[in-house]
Amino acid sequence: MAQNPRTSETESAPTTGRNTGLTRRNYVRSLAAVATAATALGGAGAAAAEDDYEVIEAEGQTISLDAGETWENKLIDMTTGQDIIVTAHSSDWTIRNIGFKGKNTAGTGTATFGISDTGNGTSTVENVYLGDGSSTGNGNPNGHGQTAFWVAPDHNGHIDFENVNIQNFADNAIYGSAPGNKGGGTIHIDSSFAANCYVSHFRLGTEGSKVTNSSVYVDASEGYVGRGIWAWAPGTIEVEGCQIEMNGQNTAIDAGANGNATEVVVTETDYDEQAGIAEHAGSTVQLGEGVGTDPDAFMPDGVPTSPEEAAAGSQN
């Protein structure tokens, strides 16, 4: 099976204004509802599949998008125990209304999505559910496993992420720092949710890249405890309108890596003070207007909370 190339930028994670509110109690209820919704494709789910989306069984295949192509309304059945890879290394492509049912237990240690816009265009990822997570077991000595989205170094355009739900992945949720070493393309993560992933949740590295109106939630009893937002060089990375609720785990905002400095500008955001902020190799995290230390992770409007909801293109 084809593999998505990975860089060596995988430093191990240490062990250690709100929109729609998502309290700890509601978060647990939300996960329970997602688990219930994902138990079967029968009944109404099967009817919806026939009418609204295509069901694809994971069989170790690779699906590749060409320039200008749209791939949408798919439910990926991961209960087969096999892997599936989606690649888009062209320009002006769109990935929309995609739901993954079941945990990825294939143990390949690659990325579910390997993407980049290599034509200086604008590509889009929207309404994607990856909330069932992945397992370890790929033999990686650092204990890493599957990454949800990996953005290749050659990325020189722009990628918009919107209404994406990523939970319980054994490596980064959105690994978007590699273009900082080569292509220099930008990434905007908006109205998205990531929880309990390892290494980091939102990882960016190029000037003009940003995370807005999004949440990170980490609970030590719920799987992996990666960094909230990890900024790599050269930056500057913007964080605005976010809630970073770490429950004292790891680091809420981590700036700099591999001896290279970067800058993060934070506004209208709450972060977990106990998890705190880290500045490496001369990096700076500038706290601007509306920054507080009482985070309350929220599920942004429009983020899908089940595979079927994502595949059908339903909105909250």
Give the domain ranges of the chain: 24-312
What pLDDT band is residue 17 in, cutting at 50, 70 and 90? very low
The reported pLDDT for the residue numbered 145 is 83
Torsion of CA 9, 233, 252, 126, to 10 degrees: -80
pLDDT tens, position by position, 154-182: 999 999 999 999 999 999 999 999 999 99
What was the pLDDT predicted at 41?
Answer: 35
> In sequence order, what DSSP letters do the residues of 44-86 get, joined into one string?
HHHHHHHHH-EEEE-SSEEEEEPTT-EEEEEEEEGGGS--EEE
* Res. 303 pLDDT band, cuts 50 70 90: very high
What pLDDT was estimated at residue 107? 84
pTM to 2 decimal places: 0.86
Asked whether the beta carbons of 74 and 311 are under 8 A apart, the reply is yes
Question: In whole angstroms, how far apart are CA 160 and each of 16, 86, 157?
Answer: 31, 17, 10
Q: Is residue 7 predicted with pLDDT exceeding 90?
A: no
Range of lowest pLDDT (2-16, 88-102, 142-156, 292-306): 2-16
The helix (run of H) or strand (run of E) holding residue 37 is helix 24-37
Percent over 70 (pLDDT), the chain = 79
Find out whether 268 and 290 touch, Cβ atoms under 8 Å: yes
